[in-house]
């Protein structure tokens, strides 16, 4: 993260579920939310990529869990 990262203190302690959080913009969103104190559930279809994002957040001192599911599958979304 850079020193120019936006800060949102009102996110501290909130829970965020980020669909598509395993790569690209979604992964960056997960990391920024966690850096602002949110507890993040990282959603995506690729468990290896999800685990990498979760590990990066936890290594930086944030809280994150993986929530693998295909958001086009209603039953899978319900399980999240």
Burial class (CB within 10 angstroms; exposed 0-12, middle 13-18, buried 19+) of 43: buried
d(CA 28, CA 1): 9
pLDDT (0 to 100) of residue 2: 53
Pick the CATH number of 14-79 from 3.40.50.170, 3.40.50.150, 3.40.50.10420, 3.40.50.720: 3.40.50.720
User: Quick one: angle between helices 47-59 and 24-35, nearest 10?
Assistant: 30
Q: What is the mean pLDDT of the segment spanning 64-78?
A: 94
pLDDT (0 to 100) of residue 5: 76
Instruction: Kindly list the domain boundaries of the chain, sorted by start residue.
Output: 14-79
Q: What is the mean pLDDT of the segment spanning 25-43?
A: 97
d(CA 69, CA 73): 8
């Amino acid at each position: 993260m850079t020193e120019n990262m936006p800060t949102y203190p009102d996110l501290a302690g909130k829970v965020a579920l980020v669909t598509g959080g395993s790569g690209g913009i979604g992964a960056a969103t997960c990391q920024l939310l966690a850096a602002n104190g949110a507890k993040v559930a990282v959603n995506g279809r690729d468990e290896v990529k999800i685990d990498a994002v979760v590990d990066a957040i936890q290594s930086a001192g944030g809280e994150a869990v993986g929530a693998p599911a295909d958001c086009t599958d209603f039953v899978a979304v319900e399980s999240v």
